[in-house]
Structure 1
Amino acid sequence: MIYLDNAATTKISSKAMAAMMEIMQNHYGNPSSIHGLGRDARKYLRQSRESIAKQLEVSTDQIIFTSGGTEANNLALFSYILEHQDQGKHLITSAIEHHSVLEVFHRLEQEYAFEVTYLEPRDGQLAIDDFQAALRDDTILVSMMAANNETGALLPIAQIGKILQEHPAAFHVDAVQWMGKRPFYPKELGVDFATASAHKFHGPKGVGFLYTSQPKLKSLILGGTQENKYRAGTENLPAIVGMATALEESLENWEYKEEHIRNLRQTLVASLPASVTVNEAKDQLPHVLSLVVPQVSKDSLLLQLDLAGIAVSGGSACTAGTLEPSHVIAACYPDHPERNNHSIRISFSDDTSLDDVTTFTQTLKKIIGG
């Protein structure tokens, strides 16, 4: 199987898997227990938190372990917004956010009477002047993803963070697609909340983290005092250790890895049939490539590629199996509705090879001709 769906999930690294096995076999105590095995487990929990905090250049008490990016987004947004609604009822986000962000805002609109401004991209890119025009005195939080999971478009989070230095609104960044591919420094970017999920950078599924600069959050999961009372429940220590190991490993020589991926992307694009176009934005993370294949519907194309042993996707894995069109492609290209039924996503990792790319383009040509 040729795997080109790394934006959905990555293969766990051998190093992360070995670290997890070591914990499961030899350090299986509950980190909250006071006996020797518990203290031993707590040591590895502490070391993992220290490792992640070091990568982000933040304090260890600012890292909260969660079950993944979805929970981390929900925790940050619901907790902060509902606690600060007396300061304003206006929120800003983009129309191309992950559903774990958009659905939170939809509920806040419907059940708590918040007003949300959804910024629309222009040719796949978010314009900073649109953000500035939307910002109001009663805006209490801004939420923007660092990199879009369907097109790879980079949102202007550094510019937004700088603008918000002069505004009391909190700044939440969904960094799930960015984390592990490039360094991410929340304090430098002016970010109050940042979320990550381990399985996007060669770690295990079912674990992630939330960075928060806010000293007081209300837990959404009740029942214990774990994670500084922010997230009740026994920590998934093997997965947390695997995540910390994978993040550190992913950021080693990240520039070399990105150059490898950039070369693969350029090779793939140069080898495409003339009829295939790219859903391209001005600023992009090279790991994600959105293609428009007009000759065949995306569902049919995905099936044919799968039968040929090639794994790609039609968009976000969180909406796979639904008949709904991609909200990202629809928002990015409103004047080209036909793109939604003909767009597929290719996503690379440092494990992707030139042979993988060559086989994909050759197979695509066989399917559509050209």
Structure 2
Amino acid sequence: MNTPFIYLDYNASTPNDPRVVDAMLPFLTNHYGNPSSIHSQGIKAKESIEKARKQVANLLDASPNEIVFTSGGTESNNYAIIGTAISNKEKGNHIITSSVEHPAVIEVCKYLETQGFKITYVDVNKNGIVDVKELEKAILPETILITIMHANNEVGSIQPIKEIGEIAKQHGIIFHTDAAQSVGKIATNVKELNVDLLTIAGHKIYAPKGIGALYIKKGITLSKLMHGAGHEFNKRPGTENVMQIVGLGKACEITNQEFNENTSQMRKMRDYLLVQLNSLNFDSIVNGDVSRSLPNTLNMSFKNIDANTVINELRNKVALSAGSACHSGTANLSNVLKATLSDYNYANGTFRFSVGKNTTKQEIDDAIIHFKKAFEKLKLTKLNYH
């Protein structure tokens, strides 16, 4: 008998919550009007967008007019960083970020370096966390932006965003955080976090792919990335993706209502998974500090195990991510793993496990059986690391 497919890759993407799908369906069938039109179909679309804007704002404790809808986390990060850089280039050309950011931040910063901006990449400690004192030392008179992710997508390390925000405020620097991985898992109250800009990605919170939002604190001015009509408070032109905006709004509403229940469930399942993995008695280490990480995320490395081979072996049974990209016999470690991995002999056996709000104990028990069989079956491979 075939066992059900087990999904343990929620940091990569989440399934659509059925309630989100139900909220979206009328906009795929009956409500097809352009939100800029003044007839009843257009008004219905416009009202639905504004309802969703309030739902997103309520989750963040922001004002609805501080929420701009985008195509996802990558666009939100680009808009926040490039928009700030261009609109403040007369004040300075220096940006501070961390060495462990998502490519949607790192690559944007690298692009800005080709445009005359200077970027400081602050390193993290063995737990994957930015040293606030080192970050403050990096501030220059021409620093115009600090962008630090709220939580790391690989090891789950939660950054001291509130403290960094206080420092940014003291120095008159705009502060952005990529909260794509943290929304719905830990508190993301923009006032408590002291942020000026915050990124949301819909497909991380049980909404569709291709929709996101950017919180822009009142008074912050960003140069537009695109030019056209005056949609989204004249900040992001283009006819709005009504159906997906409605979906994101509903997902945020559900996240807000069920936050405590969901985070508690995720933490219980993550902790149970750790216990069960340890019970396999394979030589392993945990990367990062579980007590200071996302409640759903566990990053572990197993000695003499080839993670990519295991994942390929289990591809029709269990979904999870490898912690290193393996090419031609060499394991290429991310910056966060280089910082957190205590012994590179474990590097190629690194897995990122990420549970979701619906993960069950039975799924974990079944996954452990699959892991054990795969670990014991596959030949061990030694790789060179750099």
* TM-score, scaled to structure 1: 0.93
Is residue 96–residue 331 contact of structure 1 (8 Å, CA) maintained in 2?
no
The Cα offsets for residues 44-97 of structure 1, whole Å up to 9 and x where unpaired, read as 111111121122121211110000000000011101112212212221111110
The Cα offsets for residues 157-185 of structure 1, whole Å up to 9 and x where unpaired, read as 01111222211110000000011223311
2:309 equivalent in structure 1: 300
2:360 equivalent in structure 1: 353
- Over the aligned positions, Cα root-mean-square deviation in angstroms equals 2.1
2:287 equivalent in structure 1: 279
Q: Following superposition of structure 1 onto structure 2, how do residues 149-228 of structure 1 map, counting pairs within 5 Å?
A: 149-213=153-217, 214-228=219-233
After TM superposition, give the deviation of residue 321 of structure 1 in Å: 9.8
Identity of aligned residues (%): 33
- Cα distance between partner residues in 1 of 2:229 and 2:115: 28
After TM superposition, give the deviation of residue 202 of structure 1 in Å: 0.6
Q: Which aligned segments of 4 or more residues in structure 1 are displaced greater than 6 angstroms?
A: 319-324
Per the alignment, do residues 324 and 92 of structure 1 end up closer, same or farther by CA in structure 2, a change over 3 Å counting?
farther
Residue identity matched to 1:351: N
After TM superposition, give the deviation of residue 207 of structure 1 in Å: 0.2
- Cα distance between partner residues in 2 of 1:226 and 1:326: 41
1:46 equivalent in structure 2: 50
Q: Following superposition of structure 1 onto structure 2, how do residues 47-196 of structure 1 map, counting pairs within 5 Å?
A: 47-109=51-113, 111-123=114-126, 124-196=128-200
Residue identity matched to 1:89: N
| SS of structure 2 residue aligned to 1:6 | coil
- Cα distance between partner residues in 2 of 1:341 and 1:135: 36
Q: Following superposition of structure 1 onto structure 2, how do residues 308-327 of structure 1 map, counting pairs within 5 Å?
A: 309-315=317-323, 325-327=332-334
2:381 equivalent in structure 1: none
Unaligned 5+ residue runs, structure 2? 378-386
| SS of structure 1 residue aligned to 2:12 | coil
2:274 equivalent in structure 1: 269
Per the alignment, do residues 133 and 196 of structure 1 end up closer, same or farther by CA in structure 2, a change over 3 Å counting?
same
Match for residue 235 of structure 1 among 229, 240, 250: 240
Is residue 183–residue 251 contact of structure 1 (8 Å, CA) maintained in 2?
no
Is residue 125–residue 283 contact of structure 1 (8 Å, CA) maintained in 2?
no
Residue identity matched to 2:321: S
After TM superposition, give the deviation of residue 153 of structure 1 in Å: 0.4
Deviates more, 1:47-56 or 1:66-75: 47-56
| SS of structure 2 residue aligned to 1:141 | strand
Residue identity matched to 1:6: Y
1:3 equivalenced with 2:7 (yes/no): yes
1:290 equivalenced with 2:299 (yes/no): yes
Per the alignment, do residues 320 and 53 of structure 1 end up closer, same or farther by CA in structure 2, a change over 3 Å counting?
farther
| SS of structure 1 residue aligned to 2:312 | helix
Residue identity matched to 2:235: Y
